[in-house]
Structures are given as structure tokens and as C-alpha cells.
Amino acid sequence: MTDQTELRKEILYVHKHRFATKSFNPTKKIAEEDWMTIMEAARLSPSSFGYEPWKFLLVKNQQIKDDLQDIAWGARNSLYGASHFLIVLARKNLTGNSPHVKHMVEDVFGVPYSETSPQTIFFNNFQKNDFGLTDERSLFDWASKQTYIPLANMLTTAAYLGIDSVPIEGFNKESVENYLEKKKIINLDEFGVSYMAGFGYWDQEIPEKKRQSLSDIYDVIK
């Protein structure tokens, strides 16, 4: 019982002290072992049907960071000071008949793939009839939602390791995507940008966390 009590305290401590860092110390770098632990937390994250419709780009190139300054206003502090800067992509037009799904089924799940298999038919029916995913935008939005699951896991894992972070949506999506395509970093037929994130060590005082009370957001339906 004591161990569980201490574990609960530790979990809540990490969440209470995790902060969306606005200013990073550019002289402090994340150890490679710590960074790969964060990325492994992302890799192990769940996704709908296990299809993992994501890709993670670690940007080290300084010219690319400089070029992103004007089109990713919310990322400027991270581009200047964060130890590690991620751009996270979501897959486009992911359906049961997509090459990526075939890859996941055969190469990852290790079972035969067929467009007429019960699994493929079930997935296509789920997308079309249950969630109404019938066009490119809705399919991308659905895939993008999946990418936020590893984001949460990365932020929490970083906090456990004493590493600060910030999720970023402050950018012009079209401009960033066109820039990355021009640089031959992404193929816009396959991927779109979901979000960015900075990781490093804060260079500011951490304010008190302010959230709604649990009673405002939590109801028990009996």
C-alpha cells in the first residue's frame, strides 16, 4: 500500500510540474539515452487499429530551423533554444486499402493482407459508416488525432526524466508543408504536418499550474 501511495504521489508530481516551456536554455542538451527513451515512448504509443499513422522528424539542420522562423511563429523559442525540435506528420488518405495498412498488416502484425479480408472490410466500414471519414480532410484529421497520443506520452516521459517540453501548433500549416516538400523532406501526397514540439531545459521560472477543478470536468453517470 505504501509503494502504491508513493507511486501515485510521484505520478501526480510529474504532471503538476510539467510545463509548456516558452524559453529554453540553449546551452543544455538532452542526453542521447534520454532522448531515445522519449522516442521509444512515442513508438510504443497506441493508435486506432494499431495502424500508427505517423512519422517523427527530428530537425537538426540549422538552415531549416532558420527558414522556419517566419512561418512557424509559435516555434521560434524552441527553434532558438530547445535541445531537440520535432515536426510530427500524419498520414493522408489512410484507408484499409492503403499501402501503409498493407505494410502494417504484413510486416508488423505478421499476417497475410487482403483487401477482402474481414479486418480490411471492418476497418473500411468503421471509417465510412461509424466515423464518416469519406474525404481527404476528414481522413487526415482522424490520422492527426492519432498523433496526439504519442505527443502526450513524449511530454510525460520527458517530465519524468526532468526534461522540459512544449507542444506547438503556432505555424502556418500550408507554408510549412510547402517548404518541407520543396526541401524534399516530405511527400505531400502521403503526409501532412500535425504539430511541432520542442524539448530541452527551461530558462524561466515555472509558474503555478492552473486548471479547472475536477468537479468541473468530471461526472459519474450511474
Question: pLDDT digit of tens for each residue in the chain (222 aa)?
Answer: 568 999 999 999 999 889 999 899 999 999 999 999 999 999 999 999 999 999 999 999 999 999 999 999 999 999 999 999 999 999 999 999 999 999 999 999 999 999 999 999 999 999 999 999 999 999 999 999 999 999 999 999 999 999 999 999 999 999 999 999 999 999 999 999 999 999 999 987 888 889 999 999 999 999
Q: How many CB atoms lie within 10 A of CB 126?
A: 14
Residue 191 burial (10 A CB sphere; 0-12, 13-18, 19+): buried
Secondary structure tally for the chain: helices H, strands E: 9, 4
Count of CA atoms in the C-beta half-sphere (13 A) of 177: 16
> Please, which residues have CB within 8 angstroms of residue 39's CB and are 6 or more apart in sequence?
56, 154
Say how far apart CA 211 and CA 216 lie, in whole Å: 10
Q: How many CB atoms lie within 10 A of CB 54?
A: 23
pTM, rounded to two decimals: 0.95
